Structure 1
Amino acid sequence: MPKHFAKPLGVFALTALLAACGQQRPSSVVPVAAQPSGPVAQSGKLKYMQHELVLGYHDQASLNRAVGILGGQVIATIPEIKAALVRVDGDALKLTPRAMRMEGLRYALPNAVVTGEDPAPLSPAGLSPQANSADQFFDELPQYALDPRHLNAKAAWDAGLTGRGVLVAVLDDPGDVSHPDLAPNWAGKAYNPFLNKVYTDAKEWVDASKSNFASHGTFVASSIVAADDGKGIVGVAPGAKFMPVVINPAAKTENEFYSSFYIAAGAVWATNNGARVLNNSWGGGTSFGAVKDAFDYAMSNGTAVVASMGNSYHDEFQYPAALPGVIASGALDGSNRKVTFSTTGRHISSSAPGQDTMLANPTWMGGGHRLISGTSFSSPYTAGVAALVYGKCPAATPYQVRRVLEMTANGSIGSNPGGFDRDTGWGALNAGNVAKMLTSCDALPAKGANVQVNVSYVNGSGTQPGILADVMLRGQGFRAGATDDPTPLYLSTTDADGNANFAEIAPGTYDVYVAGADLGLTGGVTEDRGTFVGTLTATSGSTYYSPDHKRVLLNAAFLDLNPVDPYEPNDSPADAKPIAYGETTQTAYIYGQPQDFDFFKFTAAAGDQIKADVLAAGQLGGALDSFLYLIGPDGKVLAQNDDRGTPRIDSDSEITYTVPAAGTYYLAVTSYTISEGGDDNNPFNKYQLKLNKTN
């Protein structure tokens, strides 16, 4: 680093194949060093571990090379999905654009911290008699959710569908395996991916887990597998077993979710240890990266992934529910109406009871039972009905399970009594109807499809991998804006190889819409982005390992990986380029060397009030998180700025200053990472410098 910018500042002193029941694979998380516990940073709505990157890599050599360049340390890997957690010295978000362009990496993302969905209000009702009808008693306490007018569970049990032989993983806070309703159906394992520790002793697990804030996982598990023993309550799949996988320790508060890497590690571990259903009663994930890869891995191994729609009250995409292939569940009340808080959208699959449901309360919080509300609890009921399908037809694929649930749902429920609507999906789940349909596994619907779209940018200069393109698959016949249109719609973003993957989606013919790289990252004008519209056929039975493939050549500007800065060389005050009041420079780059500083000079009179602005990622687009210095004629730094505005507006830089004496002054532009002593050589580090006199 040039000595004139070494901090502190002074005189120029300026971061698997189907897991058969009972079959075990090795632990998926491979720890390399002590687990980190560094600070959490935030940018907009994104919370992330400040010094942790998640890298998707092609091979070990590529990972080693990237880590070496970043000066990082591998903390853990998930070999099945080729994802690594890397500790870095600098800010992970600021290092992401640079890492994304490293050879041999599929993606580079800060290790996002999931904050969980907004909770639904807890029911104030107690457990006093509520005039329940006789058909709502299955064990000891009344459960309207299972009665013939709702999930119709007893009709399925009487037909032999209990979920026997099926293992369900509950990705949540620690479930109480010692609760009388849950102990009989605990599979004998629980897993904490952050510690990479498997628990097989109930007391050890309870001692490690008990907290006045950890109850959610116990509620969720009891919806699925509470034992049918004449005591307490019964789950919708009482013959199934469950494994708790901790993604939210909830030790000191209700919302202590682990970061995305460890959620992915938990999903992979559960798949490898025989889980056929993964329940996710949480929200706040992202549309690509390690969690999506882990869920794709699970589905590729015959494991269904179920997620709650969320409690946002809005029609919107929330993740992980909106990921392709995930079975998204909405919430109904006791009258089979959508509860007001349940998130809606085209990606919804079906709905299940989610208001005032009778569930098991952890023994460490007094035990017994409580009435609880939220899509968090419609999701496990859905996971339980999925377990009923697997118990009857173990060879079913995740898409087939989804379609069985949808085809047997009560379509009269919701805003469209004729079938699908964005409020409740295909309607209210009905386990009894599942049993009627599956008198034989020959009645299973057609298998789903797996699709990979590969994008290349092409123009007169040749071709380039279509990194960070947006890909949409829209089923033909789509009726835009129609709330009763079930036509499938899937979204994904391409990785550094130009690939977008869609797991376990509906077979059929799709219109394919592709747009070039997001200008928010790369910068440029809309015309540079390019668009493509075409079609593809998603074939029933295509697999994750042998997907239907579509190649798209997108007529778009390349992501310029070797831009030319019109002002170079200007790496020192001696080479500074002139800038005048009222002038804005051409687009320039902090690029071409690991620690690039661009100097500009101007002549000022005593008393001039100046304003210097760097237009970078915040205003121009691109990847540059800028840093700006104002330097006096004697070489002393007079002012500096990282992010403009108080409170912060964005990551661009701005300096206002009253010049004390006439002379030649300098503005030095660099990146935040370089200002902190790190390297930043990203070709998307574009900016313009604007200088004005304000008096």
Structure 2
Amino acid sequence: MRKITTHTIGVIAITALLAACGQQTTSTPALTAPQASSTVVSSGALKYVQNELVVGYTDQASLQNAVSKVNGVVVATIPEIRVALVRVTGDALKVSGTAMKQAGLRYALPNSVVTGETPTPGVGTASLTAQAASADQIFDELPQYSLDPRHMNAKAAWDAGVTGKGVLVAVLDDPGDVSHPDLNPNWTGKAYDPFLDKVYTDPAEYVAAYSSPYAEHGTAVASSIVSPKDGKGIVGVAPDAKFMPVVINPAHKTENEFYSSFYIARGAVWATNNGARVLNNSWGGGTSFGAVKDAFDYAMSNGTVVVASMGNSYHDEFQYPAALPGVIASGALDASNRKTTFSTTGRHISSSAPGQDNMLALPTWLGGGRQLISGTSFSSPHTAGMAALALQKCPNATPYQVRRMLETTANGSIGSNAAGFDRDTGWGLLDAGKLAATFKTCDTLPARGANVSVNVKYIDGTGTHPGILADVILRGQGYRAGATDDPTPQYMTTTDATGQGNFAEIAPGTYDLYVAGADLSVTGGLPEDRGTYVGTLTATSGSTATSPDRKNIVLTASSPDLNPADPYEPNDTPADAKTITYGQTTSTAYIFGRPQDNDYFKFTGAAGDKITANVLAAGEIGGSLDSYLYLIGPDGTTVLTENDDRGTPRIDSDSEVSFTLPAAGTYYLLVSSYTIASGGDDNSPFNKYQLKLAKN
């Protein structure tokens, strides 16, 4: 896997959702310029398209209302999942606070950009040299240890007629070379670029558009799934399956030019609508909610299996989308059936497949032929190919049933637990031959999976409110914390602005249910104000996305205060300024109550006083305020200094000014928000702050 990350800041996402707590469209024309022409900016770890928001909405009227409030324009929608891309005139990160307080939005986030990291040492393309191969490793012309009887045992499945025939696999990646002799015979005749919203049917046009020295990953990935068994080159796990590329990384000028989250989601929905039964995702990054999760949930609700690589981080950790509920997460093995050193591990792993020195196709625009390449990027398509085999045998199998077909026939003797599951390799090495032998008919299919919807409400002294941004954990009963061989399922998600948290295609059974209220790092308050719930939930085999197992939770927790009282109001002009003294930190105040709230404080200083004033806001005490601070002279109008984000380089979104006073007198500190300072409106009840003044 080429490790990719969708950088997002949790506080930004949470703030956006929380601000929506006040409460099928047709697509509009898509952008027509390459992504590279859009301005990508950074705020800490977050990279996003500067003037674009991704909005999850509940209905068309709510979307239009929110768009009008930020003077935005709907660029495109994905009506199947009620997600819109909105272009705004200002900075999306700053505008999101205003947009998100509108009723009827499930979330609204800056359109985060997926970017590549430096390749992991030892993971990449190796030189193609003569291989010491046994006869049972050569299926067409070149040796492929990954498919031999000691590894994935593919020929045994093919000999039984299980070749993936009739199954379409979508590869979300950089441009797979549809003209390559290992891919062209099984190309379905369509390729899609979700950014351009363009479908290619002419291979010459497609190759001319995407030929690049940086685009090779998708070709290698696709070849491991669908290369035909034709006596030439290599063969894929499912040599009679069809594939179509969905370009989420054009890779024109660099190896990594991944599209943003909106377009990845659009590509997944398009592939589902165009017949894909498997989506392969040899990339990683993102969060536990948002447009990509919505798109994958949509795919699974339509019977499409979603496969993702675990990652190349070397660590035991959650990476998305592999850790999303319902996704089949694939780890990488070497030729000795040991976990590769780089493969990410964790409880959410499903199974493993060869991911070290795989013999795979090289695009014709890079000379054609084949290459040796490594990473969990290539264990994932091996797994996607296995899913195609399972779906040929049992086309009505649900995504969870396909997962269990693969897991129950895997070679569990590998890894740290020879008896079955472990966090390094999952249920073991996938075995195509055993899959075909076990499921000669579909009468012995595993039980169907379950779909669960948890709705959370908060109850406090002011009444009952939507359970915004609650953390929801489903943990199978019998869970052994810390045990590396414990297969007990565990799933996590975050509720949206309506209090809803959804789990797609999970294991049926009885779960311990843990719910915790809204993140107090955003809303503020004491730990005991957050509130928790512990109970049980039964996930029923066969429940669906349209008829899920529902659980309603009323959580005794402090609901976010939508109408906080500012103890210093009115202080909106110099004449109304409230006094602050050296060494004092104010009580909590708010930039709230009107579209452009400006709070004035005054202090008396002597000539030569070296002062420092700090606004403690989102970065220090939580909340949603991206503060802006001015120091104003005794005339009440002259700005002596000002600051948006403290620190050089930037530490966070709080503000700090340091200044030596030129003369004795009364000076003013004006606290506002970046949005207001830029001429916009900002009226969130979570815009809390404290002002601190010191003489150095």
**Does structure 2 retain, via aligned residues, the 8 Å contact 1:604–1:664?**
yes
- Secondary structure of the residue that 1:169 maps to in structure 2? strand
Q: Distance in 1 between matches of 2:449 and 2:676?
A: 48
Once residues 525 and 614 of structure 2 are traced to their aligned partners in structure 1, the CA distance between those partners, rounded to angstroms, is 19
Tell me the residue number matched to 1:20. Answer: none
Q: Is the 8 A contact 1:28 1:269 kept in 2?
A: no
Counterpart residue type for residue 536 of structure 2: T
Cα 1:192–1:123, aligned 2, differ >3 Å: closer, same or farther?
Answer: closer
- State the match for 2:463 in structure 1: 462
In the alignment, what sits opposite 2:82? 82
Structural mapping, 1:670-689, within 5 Å: 670-689=672-691
Query: What is the aligned partner in structure 2 of residue 645 from structure 1?
Result: 647
Moved more, 584-593 or 291-300: 584-593
Kindly indicate whether the alpha-carbon contact (under 8 Å) linking 2:190 and 2:200 is maintained by their aligned counterparts in 1. yes
1:449 Cα offset (Å): 0.2
Cα displacement (A) at 1:34: 5.3
Deviation at 1:127, TM superposition (A): 3.2
- Is the alpha carbon distance of 1:104 and 1:27 closer, same or farther for their aligned partners in structure 2, counting shifts above 3 Å? closer
C-alpha contact (below 8 Å) 2:31/2:196 kept by paired residues: no
Contact 1:118–1:311 (8 Å) recurs in 2: no
Q: Distance in 1 between matches of 2:346 and 2:117?
A: 16
How far apart are the structure 2 equivalents of 1:388 and 1:100?
A: 44
Q: 2 CA distance for matches of 1:256 and 1:196?
A: 17
Kindly report the root-mean-square deviation, in angstroms, between the aligned alpha carbons of the 2 structures.
1.5
1:676 maps to a residue whose letter is S
| Matching residue of 1:296 | 297
Distance in structure 2 (CA, Å) of the matches to 1:457 and 1:95 = 27
Letter in 2 for 1:45: A
Aligned partners of 1:208, 1:584: CA distance in 2, in Å? Answer: 60
1:5 maps to none
**Is 1:557 the counterpart of 2:549 in the alignment?**
no
1:214-293 correspondence runs (5 A): 214-293=215-294
Amino acid at match of 2:152: L
Residue 667 (structure 1) aligned with residue 649 (structure 2)? no
CA distance in 2, matches of 1:255, 1:27: 32
Q: Which residue of 2 aligns with 1:60?
A: 60
Contact 2:67/2:99 (<8 A) preserved: no
Residue 194 (structure 1) shift: 0.3
**Cα distance per residue 1:232-254 (max 9 Å; x no partner):** 00000001000000000100000
SS at match of 2:378: helix
Measure, in 1, the Cα distance between the counterparts of 2:388 and 2:201: 23
Alignment partners' CA distance in 1, 2:93 and 2:331: 33
Q: Aligned residue for 1:347?
A: 348
Q: Distance in 2 between matches of 1:147 and 1:568?
A: 75
SS in 1 for 2:528: helix
Aligned to 2:270, the other structure's residue is in SS state helix
Report how far residue 583 of structure 1 moved.
Answer: 1.0
Pair 521,118 (structure 1): closer, same or farther in 2 beyond 3 Å: farther
- Counterpart CA distance in 2 for 1:405 and 1:118 is 32
Per-residue CA deviations over 1:52-109 (Å, capped at 9, x if unaligned) read: 1100011111110000001111110000000000011222222334433310111111
Q: SS at the partner of 1:109?
A: strand
The corresponding residue for 1:4 is none
Alignment CA distance shift 1:233-1:469 (3 Å): same
Question: In 2, distance between residues paired with 1:559 and 1:123?
Answer: 48
1:118 CA displacement: 5.8
Once the two structures are TM-superposed, the CA of residue 307 in structure 1 deviates from its matched residue by 0.1
Q: For residue 444 of structure 2, what is the aligned residue in structure 1?
A: 443
Mapped to 1, the partners of 2:25 and 2:254 lie a distance apart of 29
Match of 2:497 in 1: 496
Q: Deviations over 1:483-523 (max 9, x none)?
A: 11111111101101000000000000111111111123222
Aligned to 1:151, the other structure's residue is in SS state: coil
1: CA distance, partners of 2:506 / 2:26: 26
Q: State the match for 1:654 in structure 2.
A: 656
Q: Secondary structure at the match of 2:243?
A: strand
The answer to whether 1:545 aligns with 2:543 is no
Name the SS of the counterpart of 1:583 in structure 2.
coil
Contact 1:118–1:312 (Cα < 8 Å) also in 2: no
What SS class does the counterpart of residue 31 from structure 1 fall into?
A: coil
What's 1:131 paired with? Answer: 132
State how far apart, in whole Å, the 2-side matches of 1:554 and 1:70 are.
Answer: 33
SS at match of 1:619: helix
Instruction: List alignment gaps of at least 5 residues for structure 2.
Output: 1-15, 17-23
123 and 517 in structure 1: CA distance in 2 versus 1, 3 angstrom threshold = closer
Tell me whether 1:199 sits opposite 2:197 in the alignment.
no
SS of the counterpart of 2:300? helix
Paired residue for 2:19? none
DSSP-derived class of the 2:356 partner: coil
- Corresponding position of 1:570: 571
Q: Tell me the TM-score normalised to structure 2 length.
A: 0.95
Q: Structure 1, residues 459-479: CA drift from partner, whole Å, max 9, x if none?
A: 222100011111111111111
State the distance in 2 between where 1:238 and 1:640 align: 64
| CA–CA separation in structure 2 for the residues paired with 1:489 and 1:352 | 22
Q: Deviations over 1:199-234 (max 9, x none)?
A: 000000000011000000000000000011000000
Post-superposition CA distance 1:265-301 (Å, at most 9, x none): 0000000000000000001122100000000000000
- Percent identity, aligned pairs only, is 75
Instruction: State the match for 1:103 in structure 2.
Output: 103
Question: How many angstroms apart in 2 are the aligned matches of 1:592 and 1:466?
Answer: 23
SS state at 1:115 partner: strand
How far, CA to CA, are the matches of 2:618 and 2:379 in structure 1?
41
Q: CA deviation at 1:329?
A: 0.1
Instruction: Find the aligned partners of 1:89 and 1:308 in 2 and give their Cα distance.
Output: 37
Measure the CA separation in 2 of the matches of 1:165 and 1:133: 31
Q: Distance in 2 between matches of 1:54 and 1:330?
A: 31
Q: Deviations over 1:530-560 (max 9, x none)?
A: 1111110000000011110011111111101
Is 1:427 aligned to residue 425 of structure 2? no
Paired position in structure 2 for 1:23: none
- Counterpart CA distance in 1 for 2:610 and 2:125 is 61
8 A Cα contact 1:452 1:501, kept in partner: yes
> Aligned pair 1:585/2:586, yes or no?
yes
**Whole-Å Cα distance in 1 between the matches of residues 671 and 401 of structure 2?**
56
Cα distance in 1 for partners of 2:40, 2:400 equals 37
**Distance of aligned partners of 1:79 and 1:215 in 2 relative to their CA distance in 1, 3 Å threshold:** same
Q: Which 4+ runs in 1 deviate beyond 6 A?
A: none
Q: Is the 8 A contact 2:124 2:375 kept in 1?
A: no
1:218 counterpart letter in structure 2? T
- Give, in whole Å, the separation in 2 of the partners of 1:133 and 1:594: 74
Aligned to 1:602: 603
Change in 2 beyond 3 A, CA 1:372/1:260: same
Q: Verify the 8 A CA contact 1:523 1:617 in the aligned structure 2.
A: no
Query: What is the letter of the counterpart of residue 274 of structure 1?
Result: G
**Contact persistence 2:97–2:682 (CA under 8 A):** no
**Contact 1:594 / 1:680 at 8 angstroms: preserved in 2?**
yes
Q: Distance in 1 between matches of 2:575 and 2:491?
A: 54
The equivalent of 1:8 in structure 2 is none
1:31 corresponds to which residue?
Answer: 29
Q: 1:197 to 1:135 in 2, by over 3 A?
A: same
CA distance in 2, matches of 1:550, 1:74: 34
Q: Deviations over 1:605-658 (max 9, x none)?
A: 111111111000001001001000000012200000111111211111111111
Contact 1:215-1:361 within 8 A present in 2 as well: yes
Distance 1:146 1:27, change over 3 A: farther
Contact 2:49 2:111 in 1 (8 A): yes
Equivalent AA in structure 2 for residue 517 of structure 1: A
Is this contact kept in 1: 2:25–2:60, CA < 8 A? no
TM-score by length of 1: 0.95
Q: Contact 2:30 / 2:196 at 8 angstroms: preserved in 1?
A: no
Q: Any stretches of 5+ residues in structure 1 without a counterpart?
A: 1-14, 16-25
Q: Distance in 2 between matches of 1:389 and 1:587?
A: 59
| Counterpart Cα distance in 2 of 1:672 and 1:402 | 48
Q: Is the 8 A contact 1:27 1:269 kept in 2?
A: no
Deviations 1:323-345 (A, max 9, x none): 00000000000000000000000
